[in-house]
Structure formats: C-alpha cells, structure tokens
Structure 1
Amino acid sequence: MIENNHLRDVYDAIADPNRRRMIRLLAEAEEIPLHELTEQFQMARTAVSKHLTILKEAGLVLDRKVGRETRFRLNASPLIEIPNWVAFYSKFWGTHMFHLNQLLEEEDL
C-alpha cells in the first residue's frame, strides 16, 4: 500500500457526503475560491471551511492565497488507496467464493 504521511485517513475524509461532493466539485474545476465553493452548499462558510480542513489533513485538497481570497484545488493522488483496498478485498472474496463453490459442487456429487 501507499505510505500515508497525512494527519487524517483518506477513508475518514471521504466518509461524509458533503466532503465527497466537495471533491467532485474540485475535480470538475481547476481551482475554486472559498466563496464559490460555499455557494454550492446549504451550510455556513465556517462549516465548509471545517470540511475543507479535513480534506486538507488527508492530503486531498491544496489551497493558496490570492490576495484576500483562498482558492482550493484537488490533489487526487491519495485517492489511489481506495481502489487498491477494494481490489485486495475483491480478490479475497473472489477466492473464497470460488472455494465455497467448489465445496458445494463436491457435496452435490
């Protein structure tokens, strides 16, 4: 697996539907100012900022100041951990189901 030096686990970061939506919005744009991102949600700016902080701690969001404005962009590289995890367990369950199927077929004989 990929070494994760971030403060927060990527799975924890994507557990919330609002944060998953933020990731999608950031993926569709090169960069989004905080005020534009806030307009996409029915929550206060401070709540949006808290969600962004969680995403930043997981390494999923990068920010930069442009004057008085903060702009955010997606860093999707930590998300590679998810399909790797799913692939491992897909193989795990595939193997176990194959063996179970063999056992059931043997019993039918």
Structure 2
Amino acid sequence: MVKFKDETLDRTFAALSDPTRRALLARLGEQDSLSVSELAQPFAMSLPAIMKHLDVLTDAGLVTREKTGRTVACRLTARPMEQAMNWLNRYAQFWSDNLDRLAAFVEEDPWSINRPTSPQSPLTPASQRVQALPSRGGSARGRKKSTPRGPSRKT
C-alpha cells in the first residue's frame, strides 16, 4: 500500500531543500562528529542562524546533538536518508522501466520507414492533416503588441 502522507519523508525532503542544510550535512558526512562552532565556521552567517538550520535537521532526524559540558557535538543520522533513498529508488525503477519500454517501442516503429512526408497526403489520417488557416495578410491591426520587458531578477 502506498502512503500518501508520510510526515517523516516530508520533513526529510523539507530539510534537504535548503542549500545551507545540505552543506551542513556534507560537512558532517566528512567527519564523525563536529561541534556546532566547528560546523558553523565556514559559513558567512551568525551562530543563531546555524542553530536554526540544525534545529530543522534535528527535527527531521538527520542530525543528533549531544551536549558535553558547554560543547554541543553534532552527528549524522542515516535512517531518514535511507527512507528517502528507498522512496526515490522506487520511482527511479518505475521511470527506468517505462523509458525502457518506450525505447523498445520507438525502435520497433514500422511507420518511421513508410510514413508519408506531406501532411496533406491522402494516406495521412484525417485527424493528422494540417488545415490551412486564413492569413491576416500582415495587418498590424490583428497583431498583439508586446509589453516592455520588466527588470530582471538576479539570484
């Protein structure tokens, strides 16, 4: 049975949607355990902002935090990521199978060799024939004027 609402999976993908959180996970993947200050060092943001990102990762179950004295150590947790990978693999298998069937169908298509080239050919089914539309003769009255381009957003 397919679950249409899986809160753990939703939280995992929501946590992974942010590039800063993905970078934090990548740093934790390189080392077994890092303190919050070590983890925050390469980022150009405040420690409270890093803590908010770590809260999201902790709520999603991707990171565990352990306090020893005044130091908080963070570790990567694999279980939610495994669930996300299982979900992705199920759909990857679905699309792979369907694309393989499509490729086999296209490669076996007998119509590609004998298909008429003219869309008006009597051998072309009526549903595929192109109907000529009446020309407006270049009249400026029938054309829509384009609006000026707005300012572009830089990301």
Return the structure number with greater relative CO, CA threshold 8 A, min gap 6.
1
Determine which structure has the larger helix proportion and give its number.
Answer: 1
* Structure 2 counterpart of 1:89: 91
* Structure 2 counterpart of 1:13: 15
* Structure 1 counterpart of 2:127: none
Count of residues in correspondence between the two structures: 107
Gaps of 5+ in 2: 112-155
The one-letter amino acid of 2:78's match is A
Alpha-carbon distance, 1:36 to partner: 1.3
Q: Could you list the per-position Cα deviations for residues 48-68 of structure 1 after superposition, in whole angstroms to 9, with x for gaps in the alignment?
A: 000000000010111111112
**Per the alignment, in what secondary structure is the counterpart of residue 65 of structure 1?**
strand
CA-atom RMSD in angstroms: 2.3
Gaps of 5+ in 1: none
* Structure 2 counterpart of 1:72: 74
Question: How high is the sequence identity, in percent, across the aligned residues?
Answer: 34
Question: C-alpha distance in 1, partners of 2:100/2:58?
Answer: 41
Question: C-alpha distance in 1, partners of 2:8/2:75?
Answer: 17
**Rg (Cα) greater in structure:** 2
For residues 8 and 46 of structure 1, do their structure 2 counterparts lie closer, same or farther at Cα, with a shift above 3 Å needed?
A: farther
* Structure 1 counterpart of 2:120: none
Normalized against structure 1, the TM-score is what?
0.83
For residues 88 and 60 of structure 1, do their structure 2 counterparts lie closer, same or farther at Cα, with a shift above 3 Å needed?
A: same
For residues 57 and 8 of structure 1, do their structure 2 counterparts lie closer, same or farther at Cα, with a shift above 3 Å needed?
A: farther
